[in-house]
Amino acid sequence: MIMMIGLKNFIVISAAFLFLFIGCNRVGAQQAEYRKISAEEAYLMMMSEDDFIILDVRTEEEYVEQRIEGAILIPDTQIRLRAQRVIPDKYRLIFVYCRSGVRSAASARILVSLGYVNVYDMGGIIDWNYGTVSGL
């Protein structure tokens, strides 16, 4: 009888710890995801922040033709290979854009899968009304 009470207590205590452990992990392990914002929201954030990266994920030809001033280029086809070398700080604020928003969304998802936690997909340069530059 004493052995059964001890075993029941052991099971109850073990179950309680298991539920507590699972619950704590769900709270602390929030899944990282990128956030989709408008060009206007991105511009306003840029005006209030000091340290951020504007990431152009188009081709080099598109980048040279027209880009947001200060943007760095990593074509979407090279994000997995180059992002960690070019942007080593995974907590850095990153604004991602392309031409229309398709490549920026895919690239933002890849950045999050690589561990970046402060990623904003601002869509396409076609929606950017705040000035651009061209050339190298």
Give the model's confidence band at 13: pLDDT under 50 very low, under 70 low, under 90 confident, else very high: very low
Residue 133 lies in a domain: no
**Per the domain annotation, does 1 fall within a domain?**
yes
Higher pLDDT, 111 or 25: 111
Q: What 3-state DSSP class applies to 12?
A: helix
What CATH number corresponds to the domain at position 118? 3.40.250.10
Catalytic residue among 39, 83, 98, 108: 98
27 vs 104 pLDDT, higher one: 104
The order of strands in the sheet holding 72-73 is 35-36, 119-124, 93-98, 52-56, 72-73
| 39 and 76 share one domain | yes
Is-catalytic flag, 24? no
Asked if 42 and 63 sit in the same domain, the reply is yes
Q: What mean pLDDT is predicted for residues 44-63?
A: 97
Confidence (pLDDT) at 33: 81
120 pLDDT above the threshold of 50 = yes
- Same domain for 26 and 39, yes or no, is no
The total number of structural domains in the chain stands at 2
Q: Is the pLDDT of residue 7 over 70?
A: no
| Spacing of C-alpha 38 from chain mean position | 16
Alpha carbons within 13 A on the beta-carbon side of 126? 8
Residues 26 and 44 occupy one common structural domain: no
Is 132 within the bounds of a domain?
Answer: no
**Is the pLDDT score of 131 beyond 50?**
yes
The pLDDT tens digits of the residues spanning 82-104 come to 999 999 999 999 999 999 999 99
Specify the range with the lowest mean pLDDT, choosing from 5-9, 38-42, 55-59, 74-78. Answer: 5-9
- The share of the chain scoring above pLDDT 90, in percent, equals 74
For residue 39, what are the domain limits? 35-127
Share the mean pLDDT of the chain. Answer: 85
In a domain, 71, yes or no: yes
> Are residue 51 and residue 74 in the same domain, yes or no?
yes
- Clarify whether residues 21 and 62 are in a common domain: no
Q: Do 24 and 72 belong to one domain?
A: no
